[in-house]
Structure 1
Amino acid sequence: MSDSELSPLDQLKSKHNKEKKDLQAKITSLKHSIPKNDKKKKKEIMSTIEQMEGDLKAKHEVELKEFHSSLASLTISSNDSEVKTPSEQTTNNEQPINVEKRPTKAQKRREKKGQEMRRREEAALYDEQNAVFSQGKLETNAITQILQERSLRLVEIAPDGDCMYNALAYQINMELIVPV
Structure 2
Amino acid sequence: MDGEDPKEELLQRHKEEKKELQSQITKLKHTVSKGDKKGKKAVQEQISQLEKDLKERHDKELREVEEASLTEPEKVSDKVKDLNLETLEGPQELSQQTQEQKRVSKAQKRRNKKEEAARQRQEEISKQEIENESGARNVEFQKLKEMLKKQGLQIFEIPSDGNCLYNAVAHQVNHRKTITDCKQLRKQAAEYMRENADDFLPFLTAESGDLFTQSDFDKYCCDLEKTTTWGGHLEIKALSHVLNQPIIVMQSNGPVITVGEGCHGDPVTVVYHRHAFGLGEHYNSVELLQEQSDM
What TM-score does the superposition give when structure 1 sets the normalisation length?
A: 0.39
Higher RCO structure (Cα 8 Å, ≥6 apart): 2
Quick check: which has more Rg, 1 or 2? 1
What TM-score does the superposition give when structure 2 sets the normalisation length?
A: 0.24
Task: Considering fraction of residues, name the structure with more strand.
Answer: 2
